């Protein structure tokens, strides 16, 4: 098996970015879900409520660049000592974050047509994966939903697309599922039953929890349009005895923090 694709999502809920290589950090790939939009109450916003967020592109280098249609915003990536902080809430967690100011707030408020603030994670205030999934080890992450990594096999998507096309539906892209790593060379959904993956002898990931899927998977990541698929088709074979639909496995870093991985790296299952 090999890594087929790597992705990160600098702005939670924004468009993903394919990576040619990435450092594997405890908190996920560098700058993954580091930035967050919140409402007036400090609660996080995503494509679940605002499908147009799929069209927000983020580029991270010495500066922070956002683009939405014909609008653009560039922010400094320097010291945050002049920024105010505010509590932000992601699901059940409330942590302190930097507020990146009124200019950024105005830019994103005009896009989402409500008052929002752009916030940045503070490394000293990470969130932690629930201990029941980490063997009581601390597994920090930033603004992802619940884990620093999400792993899906290409074959899982291929099977879904076969089922979609069999009913006259168009195939969809992997971007609907927002994975961190796409692995090629497995059986469909083999990731469901794997505990530990070894990547190139440098990085080990622990796969700990099936990923339940929401309406974000129904949003075309290039247009922002939505429909009933793929949840309708997945509900026929991926409920797994539950009312929820599952696709992919959540994971955290077991060892190898700081090592670089890239598409083409060999992936093996540890027994």
pLDDT tens digits, 17-54: 999 999 999 999 999 999 999 999 999 999 999 999 99
pLDDT of residue 136: 85
How would residue 259 be classed by pLDDT, with cut points 50, 70 and 90? very high
Residue-range domain boundaries for the chain: 2-29+129-270, 35-123
Was domain 2-29+129-270 assigned CATH 2.40.33.20?
yes
Residue 136's contacts (CB-CB under 8 Å, 6 or more residues apart) are: none
Enumerate helices (H) and strands (E) in the chain, giving the number of each: 3, 19
Compute the C-alpha angle 236/216/246, nearest 5°.
40
**R_g (Cα) of the chain, nearest Å:** 18
C-beta of residue 144 within 8 angstroms of C-beta of residue 32: yes
pTM over 0.85, yes/no? yes
How would residue 271 be classed by pLDDT, with cut points 50, 70 and 90? confident
């Amino acid at each position: 098996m090999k890594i087929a694709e790597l992705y990160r999502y600098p702005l939670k809920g924004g468009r993903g970015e394919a990576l040619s290589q990435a450092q594997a950090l405890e908190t996920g790939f560098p700058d993954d879900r580091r930035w967050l939009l919140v409402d007036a109450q400090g609660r996080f916003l995503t494509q679940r409520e605002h499908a147009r967020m799929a069209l927000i592109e983020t580029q991270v280098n010495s500066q922070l660049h956002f683009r939405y249609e014909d609008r653009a915003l560039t922010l400094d990536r320097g010291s945050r000592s002049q920024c105010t902080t505010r509590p932000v809430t992601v699901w059940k967690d409330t942590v302190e974050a930097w507020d990146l100011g009124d200019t950024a707030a105005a830019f994103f408020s005009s896009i989402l047509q409500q008052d929002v603030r752009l916030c940045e994670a503070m490394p000293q205030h990470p969130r932690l994966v629930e201990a029941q999934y980490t063997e009581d080890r601390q597994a920090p992450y930033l603004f992802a939903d619940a884990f620093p990594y999400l792993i899906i096999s290409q074959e899982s998507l291929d099977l879904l697309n076969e089922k979609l096309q069999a009913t006259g539906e168009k195939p969809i892209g992997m971007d609907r599922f927002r994975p961190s790593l796409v692995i090629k060379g497995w059986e469909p959904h083999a990731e469901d039953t794997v505990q530990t993956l070894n990547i190139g002898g440098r990085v080990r990931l622990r796969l700990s929890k099936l990923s339940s899927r929401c309406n974000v998977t129904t949003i075309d990541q290039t247009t922002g349009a939505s429909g009933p698929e793929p949840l309708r088709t997945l509900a026929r074979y991926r409920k797994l005895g539950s009312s929820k639909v599952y696709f992919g496995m959540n994971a955290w870093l077991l060892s190898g923090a700081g090592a670089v991985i890239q598409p083409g790296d060999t992936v093996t299952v540890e027994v």
